[in-house]
Amino acid sequence: MSDWPELGTLVQLIVKTWSGDGVYKGIVLPNSGPNLVTIKLQNGYNISFPESYVKSFEILPESPEIAVVSDNDHIQDKKLPLIYLIHTGGTIASKVDYRTGAVSATFEPNDLLDSIPEIKEIAQIKVLKLGNMWSDDLRPRHWNKMLKATEKAFSDGAKGVVITHGTDTLHLSAAAMAYGWSGNGQRPPGRIVLTGSQRSPDRGSSDAAENIIASVMWAANGPQTSGYRDTSVVILHAKSSDGNCVVLPGCASRKFHSSRRNAFQSINQDPLAYITINKKEITIKMSDFEPFEARFESSKPNLFDEKIKIAEFIAGPHLQASLVQSAIKLDFNALLFHGTGLGHLPISDPEDDSIENIKLRTILEDYCNQGGIAVVVAQTVHGPVNMDVYSKGRQQQEIGILGHKSFCPPGSALVKLHYLLSTNKEIESVKDKWTLDLVGENPSFSLD
């Protein structure tokens, strides 16, 4: 259409349909195909029509229903517990750029307060903004910023904190909060929740509101943190439908689906609790387990050494010795392998046709003999690393590769390795502590 308005314009269309003329109001988006017009409706969904179906359109002034309104002067009940909302970014803190239809991390923390007024009935809310970052851009320095932010919140008298975070690496930051606060056998002064959303807050199908409500509820009214499994928790939807959120141990959780709202699960252990949201009634139901004995409270977390470098590799047909050798030459502090099956690497050549496997084994032998730290985790995510079952696994143990008997999830293992290297870079120290259950990441189960 030659006179079609520019992207981002609010329009009202009159469109021919089989049941008669229809009226549609929305934001102009890039056309989804040839000879189509596309708009984003106010419920968050996109809709397209053939140009020939559009009888007329009208350009509208900016709609107050779509415009973001932010009021920093929030009136709050001082009798309620104080909760810090620590804002890092991600989908939960994003909105659609209506010029392109793409989601960008530009939502501000007070926008969340304005759009979810229910949380002000649960707690006093203070907002601390660390940034507007996609979670795949986060580095260990950002873990330290979160740890320092939680320390500030607790020193200000907060009963708990809620960290809003992108979901893609949320499990890594949750593990970092667990090891940082409790890796030395202590516990934080209050509750730490990490939450996110699979759909941006301005979409009609967004899961952001209930995830925030459930997270604030746990931060304000959950059980006292013991320092074991519950130092940090992950709270998101328990099902695709609304009304139920799940509380997962931050030391042992993982994103399992790229788009579903119930994208997270706990690994090698059960959830801690479930939170039901039924209109204004919010209830916490704890899972069936023995309460944890509370550890000694600490007012300061241990920070991660930001100079630590860990090289990660995926075991498979394209794992080459030259890649591992490059990491060794570049002075990486440790090697972490995502092993196949029970934790295996391609280091055997039974048919005498894969010399690269022998090269990899030789490099790892030399590296470990010289005091290098190599760890294998389960590529399968669930289940243990068990290098006793097959001869290859026993050979890996003889080489000096760590990981045997561990139930620690791969993501949590990466953070655990970084934590141990931050506290003591000696191989013997890492060997001694790798099989320990520091924060609930490595529960004792049978290897069968």
Q: List Cα–Cα distances, 241 to 33, 74, 232, 277, 386, in angstroms.
A: 31, 31, 25, 12, 38
How is residue 185 written in tokens? 């056998």
Active-site residue 167, yes or no? yes
402 DSSP 8-state letter: B
Active-site residue identified among 38, 91, 164, 225: 91
Dig out the tokens for 317 from the structure.
């047909």
Query: At 18, which amino acid appears?
Result: W
CB 419 within 8 A of CB 306: no
Considering 167, 169, 195, 231, which one is annotated as catalytic? 167
Element (H, E) at 378: strand 374-378
Annotated active-site residue in 40, 95, 255, 416? 255
Token pair for residue 210? 């209930």
Rounded CA separation 363/346 (Å): 12
CA neighbor of 140 nearest in space, from 181, 169, 108, 106: 169
What is the rounded distance in angstroms from the CA atom of residue 110 to the CA atom of residue 112? 5
Give, as one character, the DSSP assignment of residue 93. G
Asked if 375 and 407 touch (Cβ cutoff 8 Å), the reply is: no
Bridge partner residues of 312 (DSSP): 336
Sequential DSSP letters for 90-158: SGGG-EEETTTTEEES---HHHHHHH-GGGGGT-EEEEEE-----GGG--HHHHHHHHHHHHHHHHTT-
Q: Which residues pair with 16 in a beta bridge?
A: 21
Known catalytic residue: 280?
no
Q: Which tokens go with 208?
A: 């952001």
Query: Which residue type occupies 337?
Result: F
Question: Which tokens sit at 147?
Answer: 């740890």
Q: Find, among 97, 100, 263, 299, the residue nearest to 186 by Cα.
A: 299
**Selection from 72, 73, 216 nearest residue 158 by Cα:** 216
**Is-catalytic flag, 168?**
yes
Chain length of the chain:
448
Q: In the sheet that 191-195 helps form, which strands lie side by side, from edge to edge?
A: 124-129, 82-87, 160-164, 191-195, 232-237, 244-249, 273-278, 281-286
Pairing of strands 36-41, 46-50: antiparallel
Is 255 marked active-site?
yes
Closest CA to 195 of 162, 242, 150, 168: 162
Helix (H, G, I), strand (E, B) or coil at 200: coil
Task: Output the CA angle 72-73-79, nearest 5 degrees.
Answer: 120
Kindly name the residue from 38, 88, 168, 202 that is annotated as catalytic. Answer: 168
Active site residues: 91, 167-168, 255
